[in-house]
Structure 1
Amino acid sequence: MHVRLRYVTERHNADGKSRWYWQRRGHPLTRLPDEPVKRYAMAEHLNAQADRAEAGTQVAAEGSIAWVIDKYKESKGYQDLSAGTLKYYNRILNDIRELGPGLPFEVFDRRMVLDFIGTYEGIGDDRKVAAVLRNLFKTAQYWRIVPVNHASELDLSAPAARDRIWSDEEIAAWLKAAAAHPRGEAMITAFHLLHFFAQRPIDMLKMGWSHLRSGAALVRQQKTGKLVEVPCHSALAAHLETLRPTATTVVAYNSKPVSYPAFNVAFREILAKAGLAGAGLQARDLRRTACVRMAEAGATEAQISAVSGHTIETTRQILETYLPRTRAMAQGAITKWEEAVEERRRNKKV
């Protein structure tokens, strides 16, 4: 018997393959699993959460991210944590909840776990985040929400630092492929925000039109709490002028915000279409790419950190690791030296 699911739509990608999405007014568009049973379960969870919200009930839907977090906080293991450990556990738990409290916890597959861990850049942060996720998975397993702990047995022995920045050719290829994607306009907008504002994906997806003012953006960084004001790059400003605001957020699809999980799925789909699936590129690498490009243009470490929100020390580490020592970079230094000498000569004559 065919069961019609509320607010579920079927769409087809460029290859003619079916994709299913949960689309309900006032809620983020969410990609559903291809497997029918999982698709049904996820849609039911999302509808239950939305029904409760519309009825004025704030109780988290069973099996949702918020529900698992609440169950974990009720556990003895959580309540026995020291004050110091609780401080960073709660920060990470809040970050996880912000991904979408009503989304089913099962959206955390292995790829999602690794993507989320990778958004933390501090020394040792990867292990702290992995520990929090492992405890959440244990809670979800206990309540029969998920069968597998995707946060266990992670290979975190290698340095967490990424070693990739985007080339101009890779950026052009990704943007060309994105134009043919079902969420193309939203993904291209997200890409430009990431590239030219040098912020984390989760912060860019939450950016509202109200945050853009006087040719700049005010960004409250979720992971650090820092408030940074970033002027719009001319290329970004030109792109934003082509958009017609249809939602409170700048990145929107069908007049609805795009969730972090949906963004990750679409981003990887576009990478594959662009022939970049094996290139080791990720969305978060655009932040580092922006730092390198600003340095190549002659910006100082302090100026770059004012844009990205990194500390000056972290900015220095990024540039030390990724800034290429090219002939062009060396020529720029010699040219500046020569210009300074000539300036001194002119001043003496005056």
Structure 2
Amino acid sequence: MARIVKFVKRTKAKGRFYYYFDTGQTGDDGKRVWKRLPDPADRSFAATYAAHLGHRARRENVVQQLTLAKLIALYQASDKFTKMAASTRRLYELYQADLVDKLGTAPAQLVERKDIVLLLDKMADRPGAANMVKRAGSAAYAWGRKRGHVTNDPFFEIEEMDTGEHQPWPDAALQLALASDDDLVRLSVHLLYYTAQRIGDVASMKWRDIQGDAICITQRKTGKPLDIPIHQDLAKELARHSRSLSTIIPGAPTEAKNNRIRLAIQSVCASIGVKVVPHGLRKNAVNALLEAGCSSAETAAISGQSLQMVEYYAKGRSQAKLGRAAMLKWEGT
């Protein structure tokens, strides 16, 4: 027995020794699968051990040929994935595609923690996207381990990046962007601000979504349908552009389009030394609605948020503007 130790463990129970072979597999419960071996004194031990060793070697060879792209394809075809909320599936598909683009041809079993760390570090300028790549990739590997497709976990104990909290824009940056000479910036900021929606939803808005005096959309993240009345200033901006059968902001709604909008907006605001993110305009919109005297429920009807989220977003609202709005209502009674 001293010469044959690879993948074998010995245990003792009731005064007897028992031998087990590590198959390299994990069961549905995530635990390592061991196969009982005969006693080394038994003449069948060598043949049984050789058979298990050969099976493990063949399986490891097959596993190593399963690329990361194929693992993710299997995951996305699984019941685990298809039973997720539609919004979660779309997010995972988006960020798993990013993972496949960078490491898709690598054998899934051979991807190491350092490979993922390097990939995420290269996304340090997009911490939110990096965190989503980690979550989406980790989910695929967790599923793969339970199914026995892989045994490794390259996402083990990788901490998420600090994204900070998106702040509302300073008034100077908002007014600059609303009046920009750049058509993409001006149109994008009008839609982001006056509809209080996320950049992905704004990029997906089509001209046919405008029905009467409202823009009718279904939020991609929540699946919530909204009829958003068109603010008079947004109506003026929309009138400056030719209608088509496509999206209001030209270009197919993709992450690349979102980045193009984001970079154009940030470039304009950087000209006055202000760093912004498009999502901050949701806070500007929520604050503007509340400062105009709208209730939390009325504000939520525009933004599509919960009442609790409206209140959370509204922490930076102007006390002075709220006070004036309240006094006008009081005087009106």
TM-score range, shorter chain: 0.5 to 0.7
The one-letter code sitting in structure 2 at the alignment partner of 1:339 is G
Deviation at 1:95, TM superposition (A): 2.5
The structure-2 alpha-carbon separation of the partners of 1:234 and 1:277, relative to structure 1 and needing over 3 Å to count, comes to same
Q: Deviations over 1:33-57 (max 9, x none)?
A: xxxxxxxxxxxxxxxxxxxxxxxxx
TM norm structure 2: 0.58
The structure-2 alpha-carbon separation of the partners of 1:335 and 1:234, relative to structure 1 and needing over 3 Å to count, comes to closer
The structure-2 alpha-carbon separation of the partners of 1:294 and 1:154, relative to structure 1 and needing over 3 Å to count, comes to same
Deviation at 1:94, TM superposition (A): 1.6
Partner of 1:300: 295
Deviation at 1:191, TM superposition (A): 1.7
Kept after mapping to 2: 8 A contact 1:218/1:227: yes
Match of 1:330 among 303, 323, 326: 323
The one-letter code sitting in structure 2 at the alignment partner of 1:132 is A
Q: Distance in 2 between matches of 1:274 and 1:263?
A: 17
Q: Deviations over 1:89-119 (max 9, x none)?
A: 87433224368979983599615753447xx
Partner of 2:201: 203
Match of 2:214 among 213, 216, 221: 216
CA RMSD in angstroms, aligned pairs only? 4.1
Q: Distance in 1 between matches of 2:99 and 2:232?
A: 36
Partner of 2:313: 318
Q: Distance in 2 between matches of 1:69 and 1:240?
A: 42
Deviation at 1:260, TM superposition (A): 2.7
Report the 3-state secondary structure (helix = DSSP H, G, I; strand = E; otherwise coil) of the residue aligned with 1:288.
Answer: helix
Q: Distance in 2 between matches of 1:234 and 1:314?
A: 26
Q: Distance in 2 between matches of 1:276 and 1:137?
A: 43
Structure of greater relative contact order (alpha carbons < 8 Å, 6+ residues apart): 1
Q: Distance in 2 between matches of 1:213 and 1:90?
A: 25
- Greater C-alpha Rg: 2
Q: Distance in 2 between matches of 1:269 and 1:275?
A: 10
Q: Distance in 2 between matches of 1:227 and 1:190?
A: 21
Partner of 2:135: 131
Partner of 1:194: 192
Q: Distance in 2 between matches of 1:129 and 1:236?
A: 35
Report the 3-state secondary structure (helix = DSSP H, G, I; strand = E; otherwise coil) of the residue aligned with 1:298.
Answer: coil
Q: Which ranges in structure 2 are unaligned for 5 or more consecutive residues?
A: 1-66, 103-118, 144-153
Partner of 2:74: 74
Deviation at 1:316, TM superposition (A): 2.0
Q: Does 1:174 align with 2:177?
A: yes
Deviation at 1:325, TM superposition (A): 2.0
Q: Deviations over 1:10-37 (max 9, x none)?
A: xxxxxxxxxxxxxxxxxxxxxxxxxxxx
Report the 3-state secondary structure (helix = DSSP H, G, I; strand = E; otherwise coil) of the residue aligned with 1:165.
Answer: coil
Q: Deviations over 1:160-183 (max 9, x none)?
A: 643x1123311132345x52xxxx
The structure-2 alpha-carbon separation of the partners of 1:165 and 1:338, relative to structure 1 and needing over 3 Å to count, comes to same
Deviation at 1:242, TM superposition (A): 1.2
Q: Which ranges in structure 1 are unaligned for 5 or more consecutive residues?
A: 1-66, 118-125, 140-147, 341-350
Partner of 1:94: 90
Kept after mapping to 2: 8 A contact 1:99/1:259: no
Q: Distance in 2 between matches of 1:298 and 1:190?
A: 26
Q: Deviations over 1:251-300 (max 9, x none)?
A: 10xxx335332332443344234326863421011112111101111111
Kept after mapping to 2: 8 A contact 1:92/1:129: no
Kept after mapping to 1: 8 A contact 2:92/2:136: no
Alignment of 1:14-163 (within 5 A): 71-74=71-74, 88=84, 91-97=87-93, 105-106=101-102, 110=123, 113-116=126-129, 130-134=134-138, 152-156=158-162, 161-162=165-166
The one-letter code sitting in structure 1 at the alignment partner of 2:136 is V
Partner of 2:225: 227
Report the 3-state secondary structure (helix = DSSP H, G, I; strand = E; otherwise coil) of the residue aligned with 2:281.
Answer: helix
Q: Distance in 1 between matches of 2:70 and 2:282?
A: 33
The structure-2 alpha-carbon separation of the partners of 1:105 and 1:242, relative to structure 1 and needing over 3 Å to count, comes to same
Deviation at 1:324, TM superposition (A): 2.4
Deviation at 1:138, TM superposition (A): 11
Matched residue pairs, number?
A: 239
Report the 3-state secondary structure (helix = DSSP H, G, I; strand = E; otherwise coil) of the residue aligned with 2:192.
Answer: helix
Q: Distance in 2 between matches of 1:262 and 1:137?
A: 29
- Identity across matched positions, percent: 19
